[in-house]
Structure 1
Amino acid sequence: MDLLIAAAGDRLTTYEKRLAELVGIDSGSGQVDGLRAAADLVQTWCLAAGLAVERTPVVDPTGTPLGDVLTARRRGRGTRRILLAGHLDTVFPPGTAAARPFRVRDGRAYGPGVSDDKGGVLAGLAAIEVLTGLGLAEYGELILVCTPDEEIGSPGSRALLRGLGSQVDFALCLECARDNGDLVSARKGVAELEVTLHGRAAHAGIEPERGANALLAAARLTVALDALNGRWAGVTVNVGHLRAGDRPNVIADRARMLVDLRAWRTGEYEAALAEIRRLAAAPIVAGVRAELVVHAPTPPWEPNPTSRWLTELAAKVGAALGIPLSHTATGGGADANLLAEAGAAVLDGLGPVGGADHSPSEWLDLDTVVPRTALLAGLIDQASRAGGPF
């Protein structure tokens, strides 16, 4: 374990230099040029580390390019296949990297994507380099995957991720640890629902009876959806966007709603989704028809015995390194959900400690880079060797 810490420490200067370069590229979801430039950097570093690299362009359901999935592989001398999963896209618009450039203050790094998830991706690569440098190759194959569309639900990458999840023994996800250091051992399922209500326009003063008010239907559906909160433990339904009508003297002929559904358990997730479909299909206002589309449905990640064993193994490795570890469930969905759905044993939050994701204050604690890289490398090594629930 001392060797892991020392080897990770030797990588720290390189890690910080790479982080500054990667954060300096605008790579918001859909910014294809920036995402490919970020993938180019990671590819260069992976090739230098002796990994074989493959690039797979992906598109959304409409055929719009989203960027490339980068998959880097290294063979070992063992049998177990271990996936390290991270993403290169951020939530920030073009120009953010110049307006809010990478900087370090009081031991923390700041910049767009520094924690979510560029710092995590680089920790994954550093852990591979640590293992290679120490000659620790008890795994069968290490696979590092970096996607360009996680922040929008991985519409282009999900088939590839599910394929990898079905092929590996473990999936170690590189989202950064919670701001208190917790690993992530479960995530809520998420679905974004778009409801379009089609009504009929009419003059509100002269002949309102000829109209069918889509705005009224949207208001009533909003109330009905809000009433689902509390029906199932841990299920939340939020109407986060509603737009309808243009003028007060016209019966609105169209309304659009965006709805967020989250649930801890698969059965409750599916039941709530079915109820939302039923409510949308029911007559709400005479003459108004609802059209519902579910975007990037992501089922809950519920721990199984193998993922619990993996969480316990991480705690043992942490204890040997002098890093006390705890874990938590979180309401945010991620690629971990898709990998778990495919059958992999999953553990998340294995990047360095960070926080304030999706905000101008996003930060990464540089003092945690060395111990968390050593933890990740040690976990890979021990998961490759340990008996486990197999």
Structure 2
Amino acid sequence: MTLIDDIERLVTCESPSTDLAAVARSADVTASVGSALLGSAPERIVLDGRTHLRWRLGSGPRRVLLLGHHDTVWPIGTLQRIPFEVTDGVLRGPGCFDMKTGLAMIFHAVAALNSPDGVTVLVTGDEEIGSPSSRGLIETEALQHKAVLVTEGSADGGALKTERKGTSMYEVTLHGRAAHAGLEPERGVNATVEAAHQILAVSQLAAGDTTVVPTVLSAGVTTNTVPAQGKFMVDVRVRNLAEQTRIDEAMRSLRPVLDGAKVEVTGGPNRAPLELAMSSGLFELASRLLPGITQAAVGGASDGNFTAGVGVPTLDGLGAVGGGAHADSEHVLVSELAPRTDLLAALVRELT
């Protein structure tokens, strides 16, 4: 089977993260593709109903972890609207860039090295929803290795991702007191008004490259009742751990403005940042192997944030060159498949 054939097999098995049956089917297909190239079947690790796959090649000390995910953001039926196709050198299909092409590249790169000793391939099934079941698995596995290579899609222009922002997610709940909005509103404590105060306070925490964005908002139950409760979500992105800590302390220090109101904050850091210090050595190696390759800092997070967060050198963006992740324009440039797969294989060879 060619690399494109294997990408088609992976893409045409739809695998939205929230559909456990679909993720299990995708794991079957991914296991089949990987086993044919790696020469062995993976361990199937089912956590909270989600299927993850692990190949440990050879019996020697663990050296390199190749990390990817087989779940996508696309709901079942997307293939009918965005079918798999290759036209004029561009490959399309839901999940092709994020990141099923990257999975096929892992299998072909490792196969080209005749199953080198000390290499582990870990493919998880819940990355797109924050890796709730696989985080511990990823971190534990990473700590046994000297380096982690992540085959998420590249940054613009094929750049490798040497920095990724860390993410924190919060839910802020406002507790007030209900009252009739027309007869005696003064007896109430308005959770909507308290939410407005807190949203403004949270927004002011942003500074420099740190973004603090209130997102989903809800409050109240009827139009003629002072709302007794409201809540809003907050998305935080940071470049370094110091900023992640600053925001976390500030969020937990929120205090009510209205007399009688209460503020409850849940959530916290989800992924530590992938800082340049954790990727620079691996990028230098990649630059020697493929002169002219570039690097980029990006806002989105990946499972590479977890591995960098536990102190293991990590290089990301080693997968497909293309774009449109999570969008109808998702695509992969076919001309870049061979050189980028060769780069991945060369990195593994050098690191083992």
TM-score (norm 2): 0.95
Query: Residues 160-208 of structure 1, C-alpha deviation per residue, up to 9 Å, x if partnerless?
Result: 0010111100100010112311000111110111112222211111111
CA contact (8 A) 1:109 1:363 kept: yes
CA contact (8 A) 2:248 2:269 kept: no
Q: Distance in 2 between matches of 1:144 and 1:329?
A: 25
For 1:212, what is the secondary structure of its paired residue? coil
Higher mean C-alpha deviation, range 36-45 or range 113-122 = 36-45
Residue in structure 1 matched with residue 256 of structure 2 by the alignment: 283
Distance 1:270 1:296, change over 3 A: closer
Distance 1:307 1:229, change over 3 A: closer
The residue type paired with residue 7 of structure 2 is L
Residue in structure 2 matched with residue 131 of structure 1 by the alignment: 113
- Are 1:87 and 2:69 an aligned pair? yes
Residue in structure 1 matched with residue 126 of structure 2 by the alignment: 149
For 1:89, what is the secondary structure of its paired residue? coil
Query: Residues 120-140 of structure 1, C-alpha deviation per residue, up to 9 Å, x if partnerless?
Result: 1111111011111xxx83xx4
Higher mean C-alpha deviation, range 246-255 or range 104-113 = 246-255
Residue in structure 2 matched with residue 193 of structure 1 by the alignment: 170
The residue type paired with residue 225 of structure 1 is V
Identity across the alignment (%): 37
For 2:158, what is the secondary structure of its paired residue? coil
Residue in structure 2 matched with residue 253 of structure 1 by the alignment: 228
Total equivalences in the alignment: 351
Runs of 4+ in 1 over 3 A off after TM superposition: none
How far is 1:295 from its partner? Answer: 5.8
96, 99, 105: which one aligns with 2:87: 105
56, 73, 76: which one aligns with 1:73: 56
CA contact (8 A) 2:13 2:29 kept: no
Residue in structure 2 matched with residue 359 of structure 1 by the alignment: 327
- Are 1:301 and 2:269 an aligned pair? no
Matches within 5 A, 1:193-342: 193-230=170-207, 233-279=208-254, 282-294=255-267, 297-304=270-277, 307-319=279-291, 324-342=292-310
CA contact (8 A) 2:62 2:144 kept: no
CA contact (8 A) 1:83 1:172 kept: yes
TM-score (norm 1): 0.86
10, 14, 27: which one aligns with 1:39: 27
Query: Residues 284-324 of structure 1, C-alpha deviation per residue, up to 9 Å, x if partnerless?
Result: 222222222216611111133x63221100011113xxxx2
CA contact (8 A) 2:323 2:331 kept: yes
Q: Distance in 2 between matches of 1:70 and 1:379?
A: 22
Q: Distance in 2 between matches of 1:52 and 1:307?
A: 31
The residue type paired with residue 205 of structure 1 is G
Root-mean-square deviation (CA), in Å?
Answer: 1.6
- Are 1:177 and 2:154 an aligned pair? yes
Gaps in structure 2 of 5+ consecutive residues = none
Residue in structure 1 matched with residue 345 of structure 2 by the alignment: 377
How far is 1:97 from its partner? Answer: 2.3
The residue type paired with residue 100 of structure 2 is K
How far is 1:371 from its partner? Answer: 0.5
How far is 1:353 from its partner? Answer: 0.2
Q: Distance in 2 between matches of 1:294 and 1:105?
A: 44
CA contact (8 A) 1:50 1:74 kept: no
Q: Distance in 1 between matches of 2:69 and 2:62?
A: 23
